Amino acid sequence: MRAALYQGPHAPGDVEANVAAIAAAAARAAAAGADLLVTPEMSATGYNIGELSAQRAEPADGPLFDAVAEIARKHSIAIVYGYPETVEAGNYNTVAVVGPDGARIARHRKTHLYGDLDRGLFVEGDTLVTQFRLGDLTCGLAICYDIEFPEVARAHADAGTDVLLVPTGLMAPFEVVSRILVPARAYENQLFVAYVNRCDVENELSYCGLSCAIGPDGADLVRAGAAEELLIAEFDPAALTSGRTINTHLPDRRSDLYGPLASSRGHNETRSNG
C-alpha cells in the first residue's frame, strides 16, 4: 500500500480553506500513485480553536463528510480526515475514513483526552481499536495522545493491525513523541505506524511537524521537517512478515507473570464503527 501523509493544513476554524487544502493534497497524492491520504487531527476545522470547535461540529454524515467524499471520488483515493463530531451526548474528537468510492469505511473517536484543551470540549470515545481493510493490509486508527499510551498500540497488535494511522496535533516541546516514542511503538508491536502532525502556529500552540512513517524495524520510512509537506510512504507486507519472524516480542511475552496486564486480548472492544 502506498500512503500519502499530509503535514498541514493550518487555517484555524476555516473549514472551507482546510477542505481546499485537503483537496489539493489529495490531488497530489493521487498523482503520486497513493492509495490513501492521511491528514492530521482535526484537519478539517483546526484543532486549537476553542469554542469554535463546538460551532464547527457536525454529525458524521454532515456537509463536511459530503465534501471529503466528493474529493475521494474525484481522485479515487481513500482519505483519513479529522473533525469535531456532534452527537446527543456531546462532541467527539473524531477521525473518519472515506473510501475511494466516497463511502465511509471507518470512524474513530479519541479515547485519551489531552488536558483542558480536549477535556473542556470533547467527550471520550469508548472504542479502543477501530480497524478497516485497505488492499492487503489491516489498518487501525488512533488519535494523537492515544499513541502515548502503550496499551493502545498493543491492543492493535493483538487485534491484527498491520498499519496504525495516527492523525495528531503534536506541539513543541514534545518532539520526543515523534522521534522516540512512535518508532518504539512500531518496533515493539511489529507494525507500521503513520504519524501525521499539523504544522505552523495555531493560537498559542506551535506544532512541531515531524510527521513520519515508521517500519516494523523502528526505522523511518519517511520523515517531515517543521513546514507543510506531503510525504509518500510504501507499506510492504513482506516487511511485516520478515520483522515478525526476526523480532518475536509478542509471542515471547510471559503472560503467566504479567497477570491482567499481559495482553489486551479479551479485555478491549474491537470494532470498525463506520
Residues tagged active-site: 41, 110, 144
Closest CA to 224 of 240, 241, 208: 208
Element (H, E) at 137: strand 137-141
φ/ψ of 167, rounded to 5, equals: -65, 135
Give the CA radius of gyration of the chain.
17
Amino acid at 238: A
b (16+ CB within 10 A) / e for 8-27: bbbbbbbbeebbebbbebbe
Distance CA 131, CA 128 (A): 10
Which neighbouring-strand residues pair with 96? 81, 107
Distance CA 187, CA 185 (A): 6
String of DSSP letters for 65-122: HHHHHHHHHHHT-EEEEEEEEEETTEEEEEEEEE-TTS-EEEEEE-SS--HHHHHTT-
